[in-house]
């Protein structure tokens, strides 16, 4: 008997499948209909009870408000007229039963097992969104159970019919169709076990099974042909994929030039260390000093080789498990794990600095670079990646500002300076918009210290909180952050307007000199055009305006700046060399350019009374300038002795606190423009 029911042949399986499908289909359909009928009956019962409760709830709520239990009882008694209602009760908000009605039918005598056939509908008794109690209705579900008894009988009959039909159908199909399929299955099993794809199945019928056999044999032919080539192809593709994955990883996390980890790897490594409990490490930022000059002078190929050599040296300064990465350009970073003390980190930074200072040979060319180094610690100097990187960068820029080729540790004072600098930049922008800048004028006297025909325009910042601020506090910041051009334009326009006003008041020409930053001078000549247009606007006489530039601005003989200076000179705007003597030593540009004035730097004037060398240098500058027909202004004259010496050396003009300090425009007008000491040139 056990062997008879064993599903050990395809015929038995087919018979079992047909009968199972019939059985499962019948059970599924009838179950769905039964469930639908049961849920529909249940839903209708609950909906009708909800409707009844909603109708009675206002009246019951009103009776509940007046504590009229008799009225409540009268309202709930009619609900028992429904055949399925077992009990009705009304409770207050504390859950106490105020009224109750119970059905008197024999079915009311229930056991705990019968509670599963009971449905309760609870309706809140509310008025104006205030809850006063609940209406409870319990109903008997046995009526619903009776409704589906018919479907049970139907299921039994349907199952018996399906099983009989499936049984006879399976007997017929087993004899009619299974023989070729069983043969084909046997051949397939043999091929699978032996892996011999040279075997072929014989065609035993001309129907679809025969076509299947033909296709099966064709498939075996294709498999046999492709099997050998497939193995080779798989090996080839596997090797290519491994190479591609390796290259992708390198591209994603490795710098192609130095073969160091790149920026992406650095940030992910930093985050992973921060996410590790109890981790401490030092973060070191390195920016190469002088790399741009090497790159520009020797070419990018030399620059790339230099970076490659620097990467090797940095790798040799740390342990194997430490991280050396290139962020881009000439910026490198080191992550030194398990280091949290200043002394240890300083020794590593010193080692890095010494390594970079050693000469690097690139194709017999000796190259020297240094590094500006900034150090931070986790977690002391930052709790996240952004803070650590920012603080390391600030420390690196501090070392660069202190002279380069050094290292600095981050401190909160650095961050405060950075915040103050950002605040100053924003305040400069506001000052430009609100017109907080003013011009002071320092008169320039003749060698006797009496007559004034020249004055230097000096910018001041009339800060609303800090008062008057000198240019040394904000001009360098403006130059570093792209604001100097706008400030320079304002100074130029205001100085030209003031010079025109001086001329109108006195009828005599008062030369006004204006300091110019090299950053204002563009190579296309637009800066010169703006000067010419501004002078034309006020119809200034020739030689009214003087532009002061430093020596290094004019040193390059091929620079278009010299051509622009010639244009200004030809138009009638004089050129003065400011702080002469402290810049470059070459004086060839004095012969090529039509320089009008040399201003001797105050550092030479300061020591004239105590240092014979200073007197000799000043004498040489004045003599050389006079031979070139250039006037000389001595800056920073503060003592009578200095004045007397400069008179003896025939210095043309004098400027300094001995005669007058810089003063507001109106004071300058009152004292020197309208004064009788003003002399015509």
Query: Which tens digit of pLDDT belongs to each residue from 539-580?
Result: 899 999 999 988 777 666 556 777 788 888 888 899 898 888
The confidence score (pLDDT) of residue 501 equals 94
**Is residue 151 a part of any domain in this protein?**
yes
**Is residue 231 a part of any domain in this protein?**
no
Q: Which two tokens stand for residue 340?
A: 């949290």
Query: 64: pLDDT confidence band, cut at 50, 70 and 90?
Result: confident
pLDDT at 407 over 50: yes
**Per mean pLDDT, which range of 11-15, 70-74, 509-513, 519-523 is the poorest?**
11-15
Alpha-carbon span 426 to 182, nearest angstrom: 89
pLDDT at 392 over 60: yes
Phi–psi pair at 128, nearest 5 degrees: 55, 45
- Return the top range by mean pLDDT from 57-71, 438-452, 587-601: 438-452
Phi–psi pair at 365, nearest 5 degrees: -100, 125
350 and 461 housed in the same domain: no
The confidence score (pLDDT) of residue 587 equals 59
**Is residue 54 a part of any domain in this protein?**
yes
Q: What whole-number percentage of the chain has pLDDT above 70?
A: 86
The confidence score (pLDDT) of residue 109 equals 47
The confidence score (pLDDT) of residue 151 equals 65
608 and 469 housed in the same domain: yes
pLDDT at 526 over 90: no
Give mean pLDDT, residues 402-407: 87
281 and 143 housed in the same domain: no
The confidence score (pLDDT) of residue 441 equals 96
Q: Is the pTM of this model over 0.85?
A: no
CATH at residue 621: 3.20.20.450
- Return the top range by mean pLDDT from 64-78, 79-93, 374-388: 374-388
The confidence score (pLDDT) of residue 588 equals 59
CATH at residue 46: 3.30.450.20
| Helices (runs of H) and strands (runs of E) counted in the chain | 21, 21
pLDDT at 678 over 50: no
Query: 403: pLDDT confidence band, cut at 50, 70 and 90?
Result: confident
Q: Which of 39, 31, 53 shows the shortest CA–CA distance to 144?
A: 39
The confidence score (pLDDT) of residue 31 equals 75
405 and 500 housed in the same domain: no
387 and 481 housed in the same domain: no
22 touches 163 (CB < 8 A)? yes
Give mean pLDDT, residues 213-233: 77
pLDDT at 604 over 80: yes
Query: Which tens digit of pLDDT belongs to each residue from 274-286?
Result: 999 989 999 999 9
544 and 595 housed in the same domain: yes
- Using left for φ > 0, alpha for ψ between -120 and 50, and beta otherwise, residue 275 falls in alpha
The confidence score (pLDDT) of residue 266 equals 93
Q: Which two tokens stand for residue 575?
A: 């050129």
348 touches 339 (CB < 8 A)? yes
The confidence score (pLDDT) of residue 665 equals 93
Give mean pLDDT, residues 86-103: 82
**Is residue 487 a part of any domain in this protein?**
yes
**Is residue 120 a part of any domain in this protein?**
yes
Q: Which of 256, 263, 261 shows the shortest CA–CA distance to 385?
A: 263
- The total domain count for the chain is 3
Query: 7: pLDDT confidence band, cut at 50, 70 and 90?
Result: low
**Is residue 184 a part of any domain in this protein?**
no
The confidence score (pLDDT) of residue 291 equals 87
Query: 14: pLDDT confidence band, cut at 50, 70 and 90?
Result: low
187 touches 220 (CB < 8 A)? no
Which of 109, 129, 164 is the last residue in one of the domains? 164
Tokens 């921060």 -> residue: 274
Give mean pLDDT, residues 139-148: 70
Alpha-carbon span 549 to 490, nearest angstrom: 17
Q: Which of 281, 291, 357, 290 shows the shortest CA–CA distance to 318?
A: 281
Q: Which of 269, 268, 241, 264 shows the shortest CA–CA distance to 253?
A: 264
Alpha-carbon span 365 to 124, nearest angstrom: 95
**Is residue 486 a part of any domain in this protein?**
yes
376 and 288 housed in the same domain: yes
For the chain, state the CA radius of gyration: 51
Query: 47: pLDDT confidence band, cut at 50, 70 and 90?
Result: confident
pLDDT at 50 over 50: yes
Query: 680: pLDDT confidence band, cut at 50, 70 and 90?
Result: very low
Mean pLDDT of all residues belonging to the chain: 82
Give mean pLDDT, residues 135-139: 84
**Per mean pLDDT, which range of 111-115, 173-177, 324-328, 335-339 is the poorest?**
111-115
**Per mean pLDDT, which range of 41-55, 318-332, 426-440, 448-462 is the poorest?**
41-55
Q: Which two tokens stand for residue 456?
A: 């230097």
Question: Which run of H or of E encompasses 505?
Answer: helix 484-506
Name the more confident of 359 and 230: 359
Query: 238: pLDDT confidence band, cut at 50, 70 and 90?
Result: confident
Cα diameter, the chain: 142
pLDDT at 492 over 60: yes
595 and 516 housed in the same domain: yes
Q: What is the DSSP annotation of 604-628?
A: HHHTTTT-HHHHHHHHHHHHHHHHT
Question: Which run of H or of E encompasses 97?
Answer: strand 97-102
367 and 457 housed in the same domain: no
The confidence score (pLDDT) of residue 679 equals 43
467 and 598 housed in the same domain: yes
497 and 569 housed in the same domain: yes
The confidence score (pLDDT) of residue 386 equals 92
**Is residue 198 a part of any domain in this protein?**
no
Name the more confident of 120 and 510: 510
Query: Which tens digit of pLDDT belongs to each residue from 307-349?
Result: 999 999 999 999 999 999 998 889 999 999 999 888 899 999 9
The confidence score (pLDDT) of residue 681 equals 40
Residue 407: strand pairing partners: 373
The confidence score (pLDDT) of residue 249 equals 67
Query: Which tens digit of pLDDT belongs to each residue from 646-666?
Result: 999 999 999 999 999 999 999
pLDDT at 444 over 90: yes
505 and 625 housed in the same domain: yes
Name the more confident of 237 and 11: 237
For 158, the 3-state DSSP assignment is: helix
pLDDT at 637 over 90: yes
**Per mean pLDDT, which range of 55-69, 238-252, 301-315, 330-344 is the poorest?**
238-252
The confidence score (pLDDT) of residue 245 equals 74
pLDDT at 262 over 80: yes
CATH at residue 396: 3.30.70.270
Alpha-carbon span 596 to 573, nearest angstrom: 10
Alpha-carbon span 200 to 59, nearest angstrom: 89
pLDDT at 517 over 80: yes
* DSSP classification of residue 525: S
Burial of 388 (0-12, 13-18, 19+ CB in 10 A): buried
Rounded alpha-carbon distances, angstroms, from residue 90 to 48, 325, 365, 591 = 19, 78, 104, 116
Q: Which domain holds residue 567?
A: 440-677
The confidence score (pLDDT) of residue 148 equals 66
Which of 120, 149, 164 is the last residue in one of the domains? 164
């Amino acid at each position: 008997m056990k062997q008879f029911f064993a599903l050990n042949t395809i015929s038995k399986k087919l018979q079992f499948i047909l009968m199972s499908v019939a059985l499962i289909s019948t059970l599924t359909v009838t179950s769905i209909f039964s469930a639908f009928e049961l849920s529909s009956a249940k839903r209708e019962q609950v909906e009708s009870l909800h409707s009844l409760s909603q109708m009675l709830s206002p009246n019951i709520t009103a009776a509940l408000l007046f504590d009229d239990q008799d009225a409540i009882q009268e309202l709930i008694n009619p609900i028992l007229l429904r055949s399925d209602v077992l009990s009705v009760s009304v409770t207050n908000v504390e859950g106490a039963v105020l009224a109750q009605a119970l059905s008197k039918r024999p079915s009311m005598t229930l056991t705990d097992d019968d509670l599963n056939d009971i449905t309760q509908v609870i309706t809140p008794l509310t008025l104006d969104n205030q809850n006063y109690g609940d209406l409870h209705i319990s109903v008997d579900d046995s009526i619903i159970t009776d409704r589906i008894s018919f479907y049970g009988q139907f299921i039994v009959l349907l199952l018996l019919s399906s099983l009989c039909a499936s049984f006879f159908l399976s007997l017929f199909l087993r004899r009619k169709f299974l023989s070729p399929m069983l043969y084909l299955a046997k051949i397939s099993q043999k091929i699978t076990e032996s892996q011999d794809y040279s075997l072929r199945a014989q065609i035993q019928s001309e129907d679809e099974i025969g076509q299947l056999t033909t296709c099966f044999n064709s498939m075996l032919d294709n498999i046999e042909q492709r099997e050998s080539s497939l193995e080779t192809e798989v090996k080839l593709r596997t090797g290519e994929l491994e190479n591609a994955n390796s290259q992708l990883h390198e591209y994603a996390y490795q710098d192609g030039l130095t073969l160091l980890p790149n920026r992406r790897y650095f940030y992910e490594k930093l985050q992973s260390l921060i996410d590790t409990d109890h981790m401490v490490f030092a973060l070191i930022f390195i920016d190469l000093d002088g790399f741009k000059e090497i790159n520009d002078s020797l070419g990018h190929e030399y620059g790339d080789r230099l970076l490659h050599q620097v990467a090797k040296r940095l790798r040799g300064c740390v342990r194997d498990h430490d991280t050396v990465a290139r962020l881009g350009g000439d910026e490198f970073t080191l992550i030194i794990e398990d280091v949290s003390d200043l002394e240890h980190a300083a020794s590593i930074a010193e080692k890095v600095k010494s390594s970079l200072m050693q000469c690097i040979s690139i194709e017999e060319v000796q190259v020297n670079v240094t590094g500006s180094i900034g150090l931070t610690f986790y977690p002391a100097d930052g709790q996240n990646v952004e803070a650590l990187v920012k603080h390391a960068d600030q420390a690196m820029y501090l070392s660069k500002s202190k002279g380069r080729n050094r290292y600095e540790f981050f401190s909160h004072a650095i961050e405060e300076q950075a915040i103050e600098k950002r605040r100053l930049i924003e305040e400069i922008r506001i000052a430009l918009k609100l017109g907080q800048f003013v011009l002071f004028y320092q008169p320039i006297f003749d060698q006797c210290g009496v007559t004034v025909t020249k004055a230097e325009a000096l910018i001041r910042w009339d800060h609303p909180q800090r008062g008057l601020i000198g240019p040394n506090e904000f001009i360098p910041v403006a130059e570093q952050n792209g604001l100097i051009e706008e400030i320079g334009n304002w100074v130029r326009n205001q100085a030209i307007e003031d010079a025109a006003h001086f001329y109108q008041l006195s009828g005599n020409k008062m030369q006004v000199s204006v300091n110019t930053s090299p950053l204002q001078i563009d190579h296309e000549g637009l800066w010169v055009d703006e000067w010419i247009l501004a002078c034309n606007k006020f119809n200034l006489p020739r030689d009214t305006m003087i532009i002061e530039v430093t020596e290094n601005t004019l040193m390059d003989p091929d620079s278009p700046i010299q051509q622009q200076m010639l244009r200004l000179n030809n138009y009638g705007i004089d050129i003065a060399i400011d702080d002469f003597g402290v810049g470059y030593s070459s004086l060839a540009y004095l012969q090529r350019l039509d320089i009008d004035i040399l201003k001797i730097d105050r550092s030479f004037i300061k020591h004239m009374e105590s240092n014979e060398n200073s007197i000799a240098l000043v004498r040489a500058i004045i003599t050389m300038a006079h031979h070139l027909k250039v006037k000389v202004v001595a800056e920073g004259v503060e003592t009578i002795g200095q004045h007397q010496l400069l008179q003896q050396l025939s210095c043309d003009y004098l400027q300094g606190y001995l005669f007058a300090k810089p003063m507001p425009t109106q004071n300058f007008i009152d004292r020197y423009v309208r004064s009788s000491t003003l002399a015509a040139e």
